[in-house]
């Protein structure tokens, strides 16, 4: 394979085969040949002109594979490692949805009630939309999200209260219309009901119970951890570091979470194991059911959308997944709950999440399961 940008090191670092308790590799997983993934990842990095990425595979209640590929910055040539933070894009939506459902289960909000009951100062048509409609994209709202804006906690409230009724593009409740502003409103419901800024509410509701110790929405906190820089490129030109870092605190609930594969794996493991993590319940089975219930048909792919999750099929198995695309980064989480198998990919170029490699990883795991029956 010819490297189209030889200044990049397409090396592989940070192989991890581990249980959260430190016990490594069950017998059936040791028999799975992962060697083709390195070749596939290198090829897709080159094909998509992406500086670096991390690929992680989860089976059951443990991470069985985690590798970094390429570089975290084309300028410094630092190798990517699995502990590095990336910004997720719309993969964030499953976390916003989970937090709002958790508040509903605590009796603090009703998902079928108008959000105007919880968020004051909205325009009349917007205040009649329900949280349910926001979470499954049936509120009829416009899409689109500005990369840059205010950085402080007041930005979310200022933005959603300035949204006029013309943000509604189609009649609420009539069908699927993917909308980032819908998740800004969902985040505002979380903020108002929790009585604290959205970023703090997310930490309290999800990140702390799950032990996601490096995950945050705040750039000034993310920068204190190992961090992969975002990149942009047109065609096959040399990728350049995005400066300044794209940030708009008003859009955080729809797609701006900073995290690494270790933290994300904790959420995925709990999701696939009825809310259990390390033998302890971190959220309810009913919360998982709410997220993974097919609430609306997605016409373009004949799948469905739950709450913060796309629902489809992969080789005949139920697949729940979501991707993310933001300036400088791409991400994707694929989960096969019935097989307790998941794949996470984080990339550091706009929209890059190595979908071919991610799906190959799923296929390898499915074939490995079949061969061990």
pLDDT tens digits in sequence order for the chain, 373 residues long: 334 333 333 333 344 444 333 333 443 555 688 889 999 999 999 999 999 999 999 999 999 999 999 999 999 999 999 999 999 999 999 999 999 999 999 999 999 999 999 999 999 999 999 999 999 999 999 988 889 999 999 999 999 999 999 999 999 999 999 999 999 999 999 999 999 999 999 999 999 999 999 999 999 999 999 999 999 999 889 999 999 999 999 999 999 999 999 999 999 999 999 999 999 999 999 999 999 999 999 988 879 999 999 999 999 999 999 999 999 999 999 999 999 999 999 999 999 999 999 999 999 999 877 666 6
Tokens for 167, please give them. 């943000």
Q: What pLDDT, on a 0 to 100 scale, did the predictor assign at position 371? A: 67
Per domain, the residue ranges of the chain are 12-90+226-371, 94-199
Selection from 338, 312, 310 nearest residue 322 by Cα: 310
Q: Which residues of 179-196 are buried (b: 16+ CB within 10 A; e: fewer)?
A: bbbbbbbbbbbbbbbbee
Identify the sign of the CA torsion 201, 227, 6, 66: negative
- CB distance 182 to 134 below 8 Å: yes
As its CATH architecture, domain 12-90+226-371 has: 3-Layer(aba) Sandwich (3.40)
- Residue 339's CB is within 10 A of a number of other CB atoms, namely 19
Q: What pLDDT, on a 0 to 100 scale, did the predictor assign at position 301? A: 80
Three-state SS annotation for 182-204: HHHHHHHHHHHHHCCCHHHHHHH
Report the alpha-carbon distance of residue 123 to residue 70 in Å, rounded: 47
Residue 274: how many CA atoms within 13 Å on its side-chain side?
2
Selection from 318, 335, 309, 293 nearest residue 94 by Cα: 309
Q: Please, where are the H alpha helices in the chain?
A: 27-30, 35-48, 93-105, 124-127, 131-135, 154-162, 180-194, 198-202, 208-210, 219-222, 252-255, 261-272, 285-292, 355-371
Distances (CA, A) of 59 to 62, 68, 290: 6, 19, 22
For helices 154-162 and 180-194, the axis angle rounded to 10 degrees is 120
Q: What pLDDT, on a 0 to 100 scale, did the predictor assign at position 235? A: 86
- My answer on whether omega of the bond before 244 falls inside 30° of 0, hence cis, is yes
Where are any strands of DSSP class E within 51-117?
52-59, 62-70, 86-87
pTM: 0.91
Angle (CA) 101 341 296, round 5°: 40
Residue 207 DSSP code: I
DSSP track, 37-53: HHHHHHHHHHHHT-SEE
Q: Look at strands 52-59 and 12-19 and give their pairing.
A: unpaired
Give helix then strand counts, H and E, for the chain: 14, 15
Q: What pLDDT, on a 0 to 100 scale, did the predictor assign at position 347? A: 98
Q: What pLDDT, on a 0 to 100 scale, did the predictor assign at position 144? A: 84
φ, ψ of residue 159 to 5 degrees: the values are -70, -50
Q: What pLDDT, on a 0 to 100 scale, did the predictor assign at position 145? A: 84
- CB distance 183 to 93 below 8 Å: yes
């Amino acid at each position: 394979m010819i490297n189209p940008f030889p200044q990049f090191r397409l090396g592989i670092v940070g192989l991890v085969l581990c249980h959260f308790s430190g016990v490594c590799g069950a017998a059936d997983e040791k028999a799975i040949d992962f060697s083709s993934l390195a070749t596939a990842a290198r090829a897709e990095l080159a094909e998509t002109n992406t500086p670096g990425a991390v690929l992680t595979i989860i089976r059951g209640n443990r991470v069985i594979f985690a590798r970094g590929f390429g570089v975290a910055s084309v300028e410094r040539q630092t190798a990517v490692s699995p502990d590095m933070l990336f910004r997720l894009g719309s993969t964030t939506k499953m976390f916003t949805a989970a937090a709002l459902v958790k508040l509903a289960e605590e009796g603090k909000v009703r998902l079928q009630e108008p959000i105007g009951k919880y968020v004051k100062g909205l325009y009349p048509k917007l205040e009649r939309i329900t949280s349910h409609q926001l979470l499954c994209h049936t509120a009829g709202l416009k899409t689109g999200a500005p990369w840059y804006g205010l950085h402080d906690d007041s930005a979310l409230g200022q933005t959603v209260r300035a949204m006029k009724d013309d943000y509604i593009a189609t009649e609420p409740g009539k069908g699927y219309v993917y909308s980032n502003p819908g998740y800004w409103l969902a985040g505002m419901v979380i903020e108002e009901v929790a009585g604290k800024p959205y970023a703090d509410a997310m930490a309290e509701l999800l990140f702390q119970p799950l032990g996601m110790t490096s995950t945050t929405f705040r750039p000034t906190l993310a920068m204190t951890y190992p961090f992969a820089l975002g990149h942009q490129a047109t065609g096959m030109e040399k990728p350049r570091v995005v400066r300044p870092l794209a940030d708009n605190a008003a859009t955080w609930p729809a797609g701006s979470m900073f995290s690494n594969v270790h933290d994300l794996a904790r959420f995925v493991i709990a999701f696939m194991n009825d809310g259990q993590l390390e033998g302890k319940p971190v959220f309810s089975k009913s919360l998982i059911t709410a997220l993974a219930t097919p609430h609306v048909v997605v016409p373009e792919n004949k799948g469905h959308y739950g709450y913060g999750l796309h629902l489809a099929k992969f080789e005949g198995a139920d697949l729940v997944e979501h991707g993310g695309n933001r300036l400088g980064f791409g991400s994707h989480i694929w989960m096969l709950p019935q097989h307790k198998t998941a794949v996470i990919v984080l990339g550091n170029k706009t929209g890059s999440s190595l979908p071919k490699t991610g799906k190959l990883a799923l296929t390898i795991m499915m074939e490995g399961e079949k061969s061990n029956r």
